Amino acid sequence: MSEKRISRKELAKQNRKKNKRRKNLRTLMIVAITAVLVYITGIYGASLAYLGDFVASGMTYLQIGKGFPVEDDFSTFLQGGNMGSGLAVLTQDSFLVYSPTGKNVFSYSHSMQNPAMDSSENRAVIYERNRTSLKIANNHNILFHKEMSNSIIHADISDSNRVAVTTRSDSYNGEVTVYNYNMEERFVWYCARGFPVYSVLSDSGRTMAVCAVQTVNGLLQSDIYVIDAAKGREKFTVSGGAYPHKIIFIDDDNMLVAYSDRLVIYNTRSGEIRATYRPGVGSLLAVENASPYIAATFGGYTGGQTSYTVLLSRTFEEKLKLEIPERVKDLSLSHSRLYILGEENLYEYDYAATLLNTVYTGSLTHGLVTWNGTILMDSTALTKVEKTKSR
């Protein structure tokens, strides 16, 4: 009798689990179908923006194209960026998104004279320098259109969909406005010293760095303000340095600052320097961060000069150093490969410093984008770089 009662209890328990799974599956299917219908009809609003991003990303995967290379007129190409499942491309006339199989899933004529963009995991911010117009897009739609009160200098978007917009100011040297994923204003940071030229958010959107410049005794100097982007409060300032060509948040606690002659990692909690790398030769030409490595190239700005590319750990331990017989335009780290784009050639190395392939690309290349591997941008095509097997 006891065994029979236990088996009935177990059977009832199993039936309850099955019914719960069926109910959850039905709910999930209803939500997914509703999301797709709402997305397709275009009636979703700001409150469903994250849902729209999720559906847009999934639909991008489902769009089947002819594959890469994508051949077209990219002579007015300006920028390319990783936007999760989509490849974002900005030209002088349009904002374009491509699926992993090369299908053009979204095309938008932005009508901007001096456009620029920044992309994140699911979205891109498109703005017009020295004007007031700004737009937020995902893989299939323009989600938000905003007119700023003052002309835009720079805009940045984080993987958490927070947006930092650096603008001129009526009362200060400049200001940075931070918005949440619904483009609702979180806070405004005012720059009283120097002129703000760009701002950068960490992937989480919790930390922000603002680069401001000023002239001291005829020399251009910079201040980097590190700000708690959740509270809008300044944490510390890196003062009086050279102009930083690029600021990259490795994570919320570590900030990589790339100067012309060195790389520095700062602790964003204390402001202390954690590591410094000085190449001792040339000026910074390109820098790329992809866990767990940092790649950087130093050399001359004019053509025909030798460049030096290094692969570094997060503590700036030198893993390899390569001599490239031309000026380097761009770098990409993907699938355990280091791709180096020169003036006329693309070099492929593994992490053991073995040269695996050299491809002549000509002088009309624009750059590299790390997206589902590495994409080569030139004036006539977007080409996926195939990984060469190690020898």
pLDDT at 8 over 60: yes
Task: Find the mean pLDDT for residues 229-240.
Answer: 90
Query: What DSSP state is assigned to residue 391?
Result: -
Q: What separation in angstroms does the CA of 211 have from each of 7, 134, 199?
A: 69, 21, 6
- pLDDT per position as a tens digit, 242-262: 899 999 999 999 999 999 999
In the sheet where 219-228 sits, what is the strand order? 195-201, 207-216, 219-228, 233-241
Identify the helix (H) or strand (E) that includes residue 24.
helix 2-41
pLDDT of residue 6: 57
Q: Is 275 exposed, middle or buried (0-12, 13-18, 19+ CB in 10 A)?
A: middle
Residue 297: φ, ψ to 5°: -125, 135
- pLDDT per position as a tens digit, 70-92: 999 999 999 999 999 999 999 99
pLDDT of residue 17: 65
Count of other CB atoms within 10 angstroms of residue 337: 19
pLDDT of residue 390: 76
Task: Find the mean pLDDT for residues 278-296.
Answer: 95
pLDDT of residue 30: 43
- pLDDT per position as a tens digit, 111-143: 999 999 999 999 999 999 999 999 999 999 999
pLDDT at 44 over 60: no
pLDDT at 55 over 90: no
* Cα distance between residue 295 and residue 277, in whole Å: 12
- pLDDT per position as a tens digit, 347-382: 999 999 999 999 999 999 999 999 999 999 999 999
- pLDDT per position as a tens digit, 307-346: 999 999 999 999 999 999 999 999 999 999 999 999 999 9
- pLDDT per position as a tens digit, 178-220: 999 999 999 999 998 899 999 999 999 999 999 999 888 878 8
Q: Name the percent of the chain lying above pLDDT 70.
A: 86
pLDDT of residue 56: 76
What's the mean per-residue pLDDT of the chain?
89
